[in-house]
Structure 1
Amino acid sequence: MTGGPALSVDSTARAQAAALRAKEISARELLELHLHRIAERNPQLNAVVSLDPERARATAAAADEALAAGTDPGPLHGLPFAFKDTHDAAGWRTTYGSPLFAEHVPETDELVVERIRRAGAVPIGKTNVPEFAAGSHTFNPVFGTTLNPHDPSRSAGGSSGGAACALAAGMVPLAEGSDMGGSLRNPASFCGVVGLRPSWGRVPEWPQANMWETTSTGGPMARTVGDLALLLSVLAGPDPRAPHALGDPGATFAPPLEPAPPAGLRVALSPDLGGAFAVDPEVGAVVEAAGRALAGAGASVGSAVPDLTGADECFRTLRAWHFQARFGDLLAEHPEQFKASLAANIRAGETLTGPDIALAYRRRSALAQRMREFFAEHDVLVLPVSQVPPFPADQEFPTAIDGRPMESYLDWMRSAYLITVTGCPAISVPFGTTPDGLPVGIQIVARHGADRRLLEVAAAVEQYSNHCQ
């Protein structure tokens, strides 16, 4: 290392990237710092899988040589990176958390991987996931369970649980994931980092079995909102292979964020969306504290909630339809190789009819219109990310919340998936902790397309939070 003695794996990604471009530290040196942290923490936490240090060292060396030769570095030049294990990376073992694909090595990159590589990142491995990314608790029969870095007896969330854990533990400076029912937002809340489910179309995906799939999207995770914007600048933007992609270039998100002044901000705040779901009192208390902080800073905070009638049925129908279409044949061939909750979700799609799907889309269209009307009167909606704090890692999912039973592995995620079907961008920002120190994030939602504005609000909220470090 030739300078920057204060730089560490816990420095912001922007600081690490700037030091690399200024040649204050080499990509090889930065990689070794991260590999040392991985060696310290990953054996216990199990966040990074399929680690390949020698391949990473060769890539880092090539990055240093390119910079020395005067090549214009990409925005992620030299930053160590681990891809979510449901995202194909050419030549890299990608298991989807399933024993059926335990030795699978793709030949091509998914678009999200392609963009991160092109931006100059140094791949080091993959991040752990639940089986086929189903469920907000990261465990699978291939690699086992990912544990929470703040309390290893607790869940790291999911499905991007390995990504969130690796970030929080300083194993990587940035991470990517995907979100259908909360898979970026939930693990961010559980691990005390930032996770964004962007507006539908903001981060295009390719290839896809269903090119018109509208419930799942890729997105960024980071330790700060500013770092998250950096990664979003790489992930976002149109691609001719994704016809539904929004047209704004990713560079929109590259400049440093200016936090939106809370004064005058119109905030709708609700710990339970007007009784739409049960919430643990410790989580509700953090949401209420966020409301008080924003009001104290000059925001106009009220208790209005959007009309989400039909959102629950809409999400469950579309999820079951998607899962059956994607995994139905595989389940029929290998019924013993699927966890019971996932198999049940796939089979729920077998009895759906054309009118069922049509009704789900009518409901979703109505939801979109009602959200447009809601955000004409409010700038952001603030609610819980997850209805519970991180739960014990030996549970598959919480079975009750504040005395209300949860009947399936989906029930406890309503606070996230009710937002999914609106198509609106939603970000998880660490805001406080439970009395025993477990991280709790708040979820901030804005109108569709207003991702940059949402990040500016989140950056302001971040300044008032009791950050989980």
Structure 2
Amino acid sequence: MIKHDATYQLAALRAGTVTARELMTTTLDRINDINPGINAIVALRDRDTLLDEAERAPQGPLQGLPMAIKDLTETAGIVTSYGSPAFRDHVPAADSPMVARLRRAGAVIIGKTNTPEFGLGSHSYNPVYGVTRNPYDRTRSAGGSSGGAGAALATRMVALADGSDMMGSLRNPAGWNNVFGFRPSYGLVAGSGPGDLFLAQLSTEGPMARSIRDLELLLAIQSEHDPRHPHSSGPYRPEATGAKLRIGWLGNWGGAYTMEPGVLELCEAAVRVFEDLGHSVTALAPPFPAEALWEAWTLLRSWTIAGNLAPLLRKSPELVKPELQWEIERGLAATAADIRRASAIRSDWFRCTARMKVDILALPSAQIFAFDADWHWPQQIAGTTMDSYHRWMEIVVPASLTGLPALCVPAGFSSEGTPMGVQLIGHRGQDAAVLNLGREYEAATDWIACGPAI
């Protein structure tokens, strides 16, 4: 049962061929067997409590389905550590809006999925729970920051997983774990809590799954319209279309993005599948200076992070990892002129994407295959030194900077057997078109069937 996707499991629950208690038992047994070697699920709750909750789950589209929530998202009654020793014992009194939606839909929250400290860096390790390992090679990283979610999906410990994406955190771990991850258009999934609604639009929550139909199932619940958030544009609604799309392959952005050997060739071959499906694929010249995008991104990212976490640095500097301290200090040093310049670049790029004569931009989901799990981050790629802890993930910035919908689909495997993904980036608001394209690709390739040897 647990080898099937969530849609299948839920149909079996509704048909009565399996009970919620049986599904929960099988899920917890699987976690007990697999998780010690992967470390994807953390803060796992008591078995008897979960079995009881499974039987009493409220009616809804996810009734009785076990789910674990990313450990950056407030979850009532369960430790939400953000991967930080400063929050090792933090147990929220209330759910975030998204978790509340999942509970109302009938999901049974079993625990959390591992993430890097405060989600910084696309490698899921932290001083609270340790390292999440790649199911296809346990010496390698599972990616991040939704690395625990990606690894839990790949190993069939859960059938659906939430994630969040600032700098590829729904895309990098999806690619490295051979599953699907979708960053929705900004505003489709309403953000959590009060605070600024205009300046900090770099991050969003979204779904991860082993099928496109499961992505849409979860996205429809995550994107429930929230009148407290005026940017809320949900709920997501699928759209049937047979339109043939124009796909622009950007590769390594004219050489601006350094790639490990093998990544480009693998991803370009995956993109060529769309030609067999009747879509057009055109190799594009870089549409915008990569260094300008990086300048804007790093300024706005550091400034946003400083606004959120500078108090922690002032209060407990010994609990702040060096990468976070670097981000906060850069953000605090930014001037009004710096932020205005970064926002102007972001606006120019948004105008550029709106004028493009293609429907989809295609890029690899990372510049390197999954690296050694004991590293903090890769110091170089193909002999080129990485000048920051996140430069190796620069390739995800074009979608993140302007809140475009971006789907990561599996692209195949390296010569050493580790997965890679391709980003399919659409125009703002064209989420259904991107997911429809992903569904066609899924039917033509079925990489998901190539699960890890566990």
2:52 corresponds to: 58
2:90 corresponds to: 104
* Mapping 1:13-412, distance limit 5 Å: 13-52=6-45, 53-63=47-57, 73-212=59-198, 213-246=200-233, 248-250=234-236, 252-253=237-238, 264-305=244-285, 307-309=287-289, 310-374=292-356, 377-412=357-392
Deviation at 1:461, TM superposition (A): 1.5
C-alpha separation in 2, matches of 1:462 and 1:397: 31
Residues 277-326 of structure 1: CA deviation (Å, up to 9, x unaligned)? 11122111111102332223332111125623322111101110011111
- Partner SS for 1:90: coil
- Partner SS for 1:125: strand
- Partner SS for 1:464: helix
Q: Are 2:362 and 2:425, in contact at CA under 8 Å, matched by a contact in 1?
A: yes
Residues 163-208 of structure 1: CA deviation (Å, up to 9, x unaligned)? 1111111111100011100111111111111001110001111215
Residues 192-249 of structure 1: CA deviation (Å, up to 9, x unaligned)? 1100111000111121543332000000000111111110010113212212111x42
C-alpha separation in 1, matches of 2:400 and 2:286: 14
Structure 1: 5+ residue runs without aligned partners? 1-7, 67-72
Residue 417 in structure 1 maps to residue 397 in structure 2: yes
Deviation at 1:113, TM superposition (A): 0.5
Q: Are 1:271 and 1:279, in contact at CA under 8 Å, matched by a contact in 2?
A: no
- Partner SS for 1:350: helix
**Cα 1:308–1:111, aligned 2, differ >3 Å: closer, same or farther?**
farther
C-alpha separation in 2, matches of 1:371 and 1:238: 26
Residue 450 in structure 1 maps to residue 444 in structure 2: no
Q: Are 1:433 and 1:466, in contact at CA under 8 Å, matched by a contact in 2?
A: no
Supply the AA of the counterpart residue of 2:361: L
- Partner SS for 1:120: coil
Q: Are 1:267 and 1:301, in contact at CA under 8 Å, matched by a contact in 2?
A: yes
Deviation at 1:356, TM superposition (A): 1.2
Supply the AA of the counterpart residue of 1:333: K
Deviation at 1:466, TM superposition (A): 5.9
2:412 corresponds to: 432
1:441 corresponds to: 421
Say what the alpha-carbon RMSD is for the aligned residues. Answer: 1.5
Deviation at 1:393, TM superposition (A): 0.2
Supply the AA of the counterpart residue of 1:245: S
Q: Are 1:88 and 1:94, in contact at CA under 8 Å, matched by a contact in 2?
A: yes
Q: Are 2:185 and 2:404, in contact at CA under 8 Å, matched by a contact in 1?
A: yes
C-alpha separation in 2, matches of 1:400 and 1:206: 36
1:3 corresponds to: none
C-alpha separation in 1, matches of 2:220 and 2:244: 28
2:5 to 6, 12, 28: 12
Residues 333-386 of structure 1: CA deviation (Å, up to 9, x unaligned)? 211111111211111111111111111211111111110101xx1121111001
C-alpha separation in 2, matches of 1:371 and 1:196: 19
Scaled by the length of structure 1, the TM-score of the pair is 0.92
Deviation at 1:16, TM superposition (A): 0.5
Q: Are 1:368 and 1:423, in contact at CA under 8 Å, matched by a contact in 2?
A: no
C-alpha separation in 1, matches of 2:48 and 2:143: 30
1:70 corresponds to: none
- Partner SS for 1:314: helix
**Cα 1:47–1:438, aligned 2, differ >3 Å: closer, same or farther?**
same
C-alpha separation in 1, matches of 2:194 and 2:293: 24
Scaled by the length of structure 2, the TM-score of the pair is 0.95
Q: Are 1:311 and 1:363, in contact at CA under 8 Å, matched by a contact in 2?
A: yes
C-alpha separation in 2, matches of 1:340 and 1:249: 39
Structure 2: 5+ residue runs without aligned partners? none
Supply the AA of the counterpart residue of 2:140: R
Supply the AA of the counterpart residue of 1:98: S
C-alpha separation in 2, matches of 1:365 and 1:239: 26
Q: Are 2:250 and 2:286, in contact at CA under 8 Å, matched by a contact in 1?
A: no
C-alpha separation in 1, matches of 2:16 and 2:342: 53
